[in-house]
Every structure is written in structure tokens, then in C-alpha cells.
Amino acid sequence: MSHDIDSSTGKAGIAYVGDVPWHGLGTQIKQGASAKEILRAAVLNWKVNRSIVQFSQEGKTGLAQDLDHQVIYRSDTGAVLDVTGKKYIPHQNSEVMDFFQEYVAAGDMFIDVAGSLNGGKQIWVLAKMQAQFNLPGKDNVGGYVLLMNPHQYGKGMIAKMTAIRVVCQNTLTAALGAGGASIKVWHTKEFNQARQQEAKEKLGIAKERFDAFKTDATTLSKTKIDMKDAVKIFAQVTGGDPTDSREDQSPTVRRLADLFEGQGMGADLQSALGTGWGALNAVTQWVDHEYGRSPNARLNNAWLGRGEQMKRQAMALLLEQAA
């Protein structure tokens, strides 16, 4: 199933501030746009409606009902988003955007990108923090908070910090909570003021998490790593055999080695040349710009799918190497 940016209305469901995102799609908005303006530009100005489940039975006339389940669907296109339990309560796009806009306005950040994936099943908003840092060689890294609200059964609203390396637009996601747990809000209760306030308090640790990421990134930029050790890590991350030589590795591992060796964007900067930071960004560049069937699919992989897991594993292994 495709996980592309939603275009079911004939328009790409994404809005952005500033430069066109790396996937090259969407509608530009001004910094500080209202929640209503963002919803309209990102084609998120629709509601999640609910209806009882009805179905036909073979050999019988009329429709039977399943009172224990409900269909959730888009108010604009009528497209079904999922079939859920009867206790599932959708968090409307407008509720989530208003909440995040208030959180952003209270902090030192602004909404930078908003959009949807997979026909509207996954809504996401990215806020840019004013916090940033530079590694040796003018390697600039900016901080963001990513909020995702799935209209799917069994998946809660989730928030995480993501750092973006400016020279190549590589994204490096990190959980906001202690112990690696992201902040989640489940669809079992209304997203009322009390729950919104609780979520805001949890989101308040984003700055601290970004500071911790800065420490890890600085450590990796100072840690020298040779090609042999880099190939071992690339093999572990991609499911290969870390005992194989570079020449005997899969095309993916050999490509990662090439990116690390100098073909990667920013690989020649002092922070990345022959360092753990360079090895991490070889993985992130491949995930963000080369992994998957299309540019749109890579967005989902970079933040939500196998690609994000690969980034996390690479960082853990490289920090272990640096210890």
C-alpha cells in the first residue's frame, strides 16, 4: 500500500514555510499563518465523520449492522480511513492544529510544514525551533518538533523531536520522553482542554531533548571511525553480515560506504570526514533521499517506518563505538 503524500483531492496535501521541501510538493504559506490558513493550504480542512458498520449477508436481503464497530471517513471525499471499535474518538484536524499552534506560540518556534500521508490516514505537523547548533566546519543542525495524528485504529497521536542537518536536509528523529518513549495521546477520550494541557506539559521537554541530541552529535563529530568499522555498522543496520568485507557486502552497504567516503552531501565537512557523525549522515541521507520507491514514500520511511528504525539503530551503534 502506498504511503505517499495525500493527493486524493487533486492537490498535494502539504503546506510549508520558506523553501520547497526536499520532496518538491505542496503550497507555500507565510510564517505565522493561522491554524485555519494552514489547514486550508495543506488540504486538511475536513472532518473525520463516524458511521455505524452495515454489511450485506450472502443469501439475505437488507443490511445487517455491527454495533461494536464504526467506520471513520473523510467529510470531503467520503473516503474510508479505517474501521474502529465503538469507543474510538477521532481527534479532528482542526483540534490538533489549534492545540499545536497554541503550543508553538507559547514557545520559541513556529509551524514550518503540515500535511497528510496515505489518503489522510496520517496527519503531521512540523514546528521549527529557534534552537540550533553548529558542528566543526559550519555544519548547521536545526531543531524541530514533529506531531503526528493518525486517523487509524490502535494508533495514538505522537510527538517527537527531529533534528535536520541543513547542508543536506537529513532528518534525525529522537523521542521526546525519557528512556526513548515518545509522547502519545490515545483516541479513547475526547481531546479536551485538560488533555491538551497535559500534552503541552509533556511537549515542554523538547528543548532539553534537543540539548541532549547536541551532546550526542558533538561526540560523534569528534569520534574517528575507519571504513572497516563503518561497514560493520552499515551491515548491522541493513541486516547484512558485519563480518563480510566491503566488496562482499550488499549494494546498499556499498552505497552507504560510498556516501561515508565522500559522495554524501556534507561528507567533506570537518564534522563528518571520517567520523561517527559522517557515518550517521550516510545512513540518514540514504534513508531520506534514496530509500523507497518514490520521494513521497521516503517521507513516511524517514519519520515513521523502517527508515527511522535504521537511523536510531545506527546512532545507538555509533555512540556505543564512541564510548
Q: Cβ(44)–Cβ(114) under 8 Å?
A: yes
**How many other CB atoms are found less than 10 A from the CB of residue 275?**
26
pTM over 0.75: yes
pLDDT higher for 182 or 89? 89
Predicted pLDDT of residue 247:
95
Q: How far apart are CA 280 and CA 69, in angstroms?
A: 44
Predicted pLDDT of residue 23:
57
pLDDT higher for 31 or 301? 31
Predicted pLDDT of residue 177:
46
Is residue 145 very low, low, confident or very high in pLDDT (cuts 50, 70, 90)? confident
Contact residues for 99 (Cβ-Cβ < 8 A; gap 6+): 191, 196, 199, 200
**How many other CB atoms are found less than 10 A from the CB of residue 123?**
25
75, 74, 95, 72: which is closest to 85 by C-alpha?
A: 72
Q: How far apart are CA 37 and CA 34, in angstroms?
A: 5
- Bridge partners of 257, per DSSP, are none
Q: How far apart are CA 82 and CA 150, in angstroms?
A: 10
Specify the residue for cell string 542537518. Answer: 165
Predicted pLDDT of residue 179:
43
Cell numbers given for 6: 495525500
Digit-coded pLDDT (tens) for 298-316: 565 666 667 888 888 999 9
- Bridge partners of 14, per DSSP, are 115
Cell numbers given for 219: 561526540
**How many other CB atoms are found less than 10 A from the CB of residue 274?**
18
Predicted pLDDT of residue 294:
58
Collapse the DSSP code of 44 into the 3-class scheme (helix H, G, I; strand E, B; otherwise coil) and give the result.
coil
108, 114, 93: which is closest to 33 by C-alpha?
A: 114
Predicted pLDDT of residue 273:
96
| Mean per-residue pLDDT of the chain | 86
Angle between helices 251-258 and 276-289 (to 10 degrees): 120
Question: Domain residue spans in the chain?
Answer: 14-45+90-205, 48-85, 222-322
Contact residues for 244 (Cβ-Cβ < 8 A; gap 6+): 235
Contact residues for 250 (Cβ-Cβ < 8 A; gap 6+): 235, 238, 240
- pLDDT at 297 > cutoff 60: no
At 65, the amino acid letter reads Q
